[in-house]
Amino acid sequence: MIDLIRAWRDHAAYGQRTLGFALALLCAEFFYRFHSFALECVAFLATWLVLDIAIEAIAGRPATMSARSETNRPG
Protein backbone atom coordinates (compact mmCIF):
# COMPACT_ATOMS: atom_id res chain seq x y z
CA MET A 1 0.00 0.00 0.00
CA ILE A 2 2.79 2.43 0.84
CA ASP A 3 4.38 1.82 -2.59
CA LEU A 4 1.10 2.70 -4.27
CA ILE A 5 0.87 5.94 -2.30
CA ARG A 6 4.48 6.81 -3.18
CA ALA A 7 3.79 6.15 -6.87
CA TRP A 8 0.75 8.43 -6.75
CA ARG A 9 2.74 11.16 -5.05
CA ASP A 10 5.25 11.21 -7.90
CA HIS A 11 2.53 11.46 -10.54
CA ALA A 12 1.47 14.90 -11.82
CA ALA A 13 -2.24 14.20 -11.28
CA TYR A 14 -1.81 13.49 -7.55
CA GLY A 15 -2.65 17.01 -6.42
CA GLN A 16 -5.72 17.35 -8.60
CA ARG A 17 -7.09 13.96 -7.57
CA THR A 18 -6.45 14.71 -3.90
CA LEU A 19 -8.32 18.00 -4.16
CA GLY A 20 -11.36 16.29 -5.67
CA PHE A 21 -11.18 13.54 -3.05
CA ALA A 22 -11.05 16.00 -0.15
CA LEU A 23 -13.96 18.07 -1.45
CA ALA A 24 -16.06 14.95 -2.11
CA LEU A 25 -15.28 13.59 1.34
CA LEU A 26 -16.36 16.84 3.00
CA CYS A 27 -19.53 16.96 0.91
CA ALA A 28 -20.38 13.35 1.78
CA GLU A 29 -19.66 13.88 5.46
CA PHE A 30 -21.84 16.96 5.82
CA PHE A 31 -24.71 16.32 3.39
CA TYR A 32 -25.24 12.60 2.75
CA ARG A 33 -27.52 10.85 5.26
CA PHE A 34 -28.91 7.82 3.45
CA HIS A 35 -28.72 5.49 6.49
CA SER A 36 -27.00 2.98 4.23
CA PHE A 37 -23.25 2.61 3.91
CA ALA A 38 -23.51 1.33 0.34
CA LEU A 39 -25.63 4.26 -0.85
CA GLU A 40 -23.40 6.80 0.86
CA CYS A 41 -20.30 5.14 -0.61
CA VAL A 42 -21.75 5.21 -4.14
CA ALA A 43 -22.83 8.83 -3.69
CA PHE A 44 -19.34 9.73 -2.44
CA LEU A 45 -17.69 8.07 -5.44
CA ALA A 46 -20.11 9.76 -7.85
CA THR A 47 -19.42 13.13 -6.22
CA TRP A 48 -15.68 12.51 -6.47
CA LEU A 49 -16.06 11.69 -10.18
CA VAL A 50 -18.08 14.84 -10.90
CA LEU A 51 -15.68 17.04 -8.94
CA ASP A 52 -12.69 15.41 -10.62
CA ILE A 53 -14.18 16.11 -14.06
CA ALA A 54 -14.93 19.72 -13.07
CA ILE A 55 -11.43 20.30 -11.67
CA GLU A 56 -9.88 18.80 -14.81
CA ALA A 57 -12.04 21.07 -17.00
CA ILE A 58 -10.92 24.12 -15.02
CA ALA A 59 -7.25 23.31 -14.40
CA GLY A 60 -6.57 21.22 -17.50
CA ARG A 61 -5.39 17.67 -17.80
CA PRO A 62 -2.17 16.93 -15.91
CA ALA A 63 0.80 15.62 -17.85
CA THR A 64 1.25 11.86 -17.75
CA MET A 65 4.49 10.20 -16.76
CA SER A 66 5.12 8.93 -20.32
CA ALA A 67 4.50 12.38 -21.83
CA ARG A 68 6.97 13.97 -19.42
CA SER A 69 9.61 11.32 -20.06
CA GLU A 70 9.31 11.77 -23.84
CA THR A 71 9.90 15.52 -23.59
CA ASN A 72 12.99 14.94 -21.43
CA ARG A 73 14.41 12.28 -23.74
CA PRO A 74 17.56 13.41 -25.61
CA GLY A 75 17.62 13.18 -29.38
**Is the predicted pLDDT of residue 73 greater than 80, yes or no?**
no
Helix, strand, or coil (residue 64): coil
Given this model, what pLDDT does residue 14 score? Answer: 78
* pLDDT per position as a tens digit, 15-56: 778 889 999 999 999 999 999 999 999 999 999 999 999 998
DSSP symbol at 75? -
Q: Is the pTM of this model over 0.75?
A: no
Cβ-based neighbours of 65, under 8 Å, separated by 6 or more: 10, 11, 12
Round to whole Å and give the CA distance between 48 and 61: 16
